[in-house]
């Protein structure tokens, strides 16, 4: 049995049961956990569902029968001395979303063999891993070496302990203290980011996102809060839990909805058709209008995008621009430079990411000349600018990079088009098949 302390209306942290004693005797008189300690992502208390957000200070101090610890993605931190003197502990593994290992968190764990920290780790505080003589492997997947106190690895045999870092990050760790003290620093296989989001954080959470080695199997689980239910993923898939293979950077959004107050939690799936005319209003409540959020790259050779989905009106969605190794993200065509960025789904929308090659500064043209000759749109501007042509409803028709010569697009039919040139204001173009009209 585990014990928790409520920290907010929706979150708890683990704690020790004997609140009358000193922390070192926090489990005195209680049955201590044994074997694998798998902290749950959510717990229920008095009819309310809480996310487990942290392992509290001294939570499992001197619980010497624990052999392994696995934290879910809901847990962001481990507090002071949380696992100190767990003498049989062999393995510690934190999931994506974990950010901080507290002071002395794993100190004096004499049998500890391996520690795994995710891409989201930002800090290891004083003596967090100190005095662990059996430590042989530390896996730290943050692209940037976490802020780390010099005492973190005190009395750890760094000459026989291997540091495993993310693909391509060896140099960063070899030049950062105290990480450079490891004699052996190697990297993992190529990894992909599996990001998880919800349409409303007050209705549910998702467990299982993170950074995964190419080809590995991932399980995503949508967990609704009280009074809410999971409807489907933003791409329409209703499988829960959902299993997939890590093949690219991907964003998954879980859609949660509230039950109407008089439903007693017994309504059918929100995508089912309600046949009784006296309950049609429930379908309106549960099935809001959907809008399409399209996300494209203006230069597929320089980068890709993630996050495209069909979501309910009024929800929020996270989209991202993913630069290739020879490029960097510049901005979105609407001028926003946030990446990833959160967008409001108010109507069908199109978001286009602009990239620029590494070492090349994007030009900012002051003059752009557009001529329409018949069905041909001719653009003249400085070389190296992204040019993207859209239909009036936001569909991308074509894209190119300007050169010293004019760039030509052929309109498929008469009508109104929109041309984006770099970060300039989009231009409305009317193709009549006869004379040019540019505004």
| Tokens linked to 153 | 């690895």
Mean pLDDT per 10-residue segment, the chain (439 residues): 92 89 82 93 90 95 94 94 96 94 96 94 95 96 92 95 90 94 87 84 88 85 88 84 88 82 48 32 45 77 78 79 81 83 84 71 61 88 80 72 87 82 66 58
Closest CA to 44 of 215, 180, 224: 224
Angle at 200 between CA 198 and CA 202, to 5 degrees: 115
Residue 367: per-residue pLDDT: 72
Task: Reduce the DSSP state of residue 24 to 3 states and report it.
Answer: helix
On the question of a cis peptide bond just before residue 174, with omega within 30 degrees of 0, the verdict is: no
Strand order in the sheet with 137-140: 35-38, 66-70, 91-93, 114-117, 137-140, 162-165, 184-187
Q: For the chain, list the domains and their CATH numbers.
A: 3-188 (3.80.10.10), 192-357 (no CATH), 369-438 (2.60.40)
pTM, two decimal places = 0.49
Q: How far apart are CA 183 and CA 168, in angstroms?
A: 18
Residue 361: per-residue pLDDT: 44
All residues at 6 or more sequence positions from 152 whose CB lies less than 8 Å from its CB, including other chains: 124, 125, 126, 127, 128, 129, 130, 178
Task: Reduce the DSSP state of residue 237 to 3 states and report it.
Answer: coil
In 283-424, at which residue ranges do the beta strands (DSSP E only) sit?
Answer: 290-297, 303-306, 309-312, 316-323, 327-332, 341-344, 349-357, 369-373, 376-380, 386-391, 396-401, 407-410, 415-421
| Tokens linked to 187 | 């990297």
Residues forming beta bridges with residue 323, ordered by sequence position: 303
Residue linked to tokens 């065509």: 333
Q: What secondary structure does DSSP assign to 145-194, as a single string?
A: PPEE-TTTTTT--TTT-EEEE-TT-HHHHHTSTTGGG-SEEEE-S-EEEE
Strand order in the sheet with 369-373: 369-373, 376-380, 407-410
């Amino acid at each position: 049995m585990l014990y928790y302390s409520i920290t907010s209306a929706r979150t708890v942290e683990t704690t020790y049961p004997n609140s009358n004693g000193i922390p070192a005797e926090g489990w005195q008189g209680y049955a201590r956990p044994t074997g694998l300690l798998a902290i749950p992502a959510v717990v229920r208390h008095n009819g309310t569902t809480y996310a487990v957000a942290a392992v509290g200070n001294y939570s499992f101090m001197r619980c010497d029968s624990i052999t392994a610890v696995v934290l879910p993605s809901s847990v962001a931190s481990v507090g002071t001395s949380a696992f100190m003197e767990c003498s049989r502990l062999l393995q510690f593994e934190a999931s994506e979303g974990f950010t901080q290992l507290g002071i002395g968190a794993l100190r004096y764990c004499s049998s500890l063999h391996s520690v795994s920290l995710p891409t989201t780790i930002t800090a290891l505080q004083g003596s967090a891993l100190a005095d662990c003589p059996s430590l042989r492997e530390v896996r730290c997947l943050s692209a940037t070496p976490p802020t780390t106190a010099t005492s973190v690895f005190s009395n750890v045999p760094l000459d026989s302990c291997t540091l495993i870092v993310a693909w391509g990050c060896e140099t960063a760790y070899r030049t950062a203290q105290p990480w450079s003290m490891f004699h052996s620093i190697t990297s993992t296989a190529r990894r992909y980011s599996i990001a998880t989001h919800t349409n409303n954080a007050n209705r549910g959470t998702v467990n299982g996102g993170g950074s995964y080695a190419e080809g590995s199997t991932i399980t995503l689980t949508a967990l609704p809060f009280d009074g809410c239910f999971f409807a489907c993923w933003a791409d329409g898939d209703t499988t829960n839990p959902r299993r997939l293979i890590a093949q690219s950077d991907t964003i998954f959004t879980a859609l949660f909805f509230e039950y109407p107050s008089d439903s007693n939690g017994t309504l059918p799936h929100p995508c089912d058709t309600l046949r009784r005319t006296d309950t049609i209003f429930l379908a309106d409540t549960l099935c809001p209008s959907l809008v399409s959020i399209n996300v494209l790259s203006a230069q597929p050779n320089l980068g890709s995008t993630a996050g495209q989905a069909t979501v309910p009106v009024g929800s929020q969605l996270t989209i991202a621009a993913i630069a290739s190794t020879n490029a960097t993200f510049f901005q979105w065509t609407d001028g926003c430079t946030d990446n990833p960025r959160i967008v409001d789904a108010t109507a069908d929308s199109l978001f286009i990411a602009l990239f620029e090659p590494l070492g090349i500064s994007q030009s900012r043209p002051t003059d752009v000349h557009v001529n329409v000759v018949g069905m041909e749109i001719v653009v003249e501007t400085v070389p190296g600018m992204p040019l993207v042509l859209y239909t009036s409803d936001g569909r991308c028709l074509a894209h190119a990079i300007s050169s010293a010569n004019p760039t030509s697009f052929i309109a498929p039919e008469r009508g109104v088009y929109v041309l984006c040139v770099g970060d300039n204001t989009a231009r409305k173009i009317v193709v009549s098949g006869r004379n040019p009209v540019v505004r």
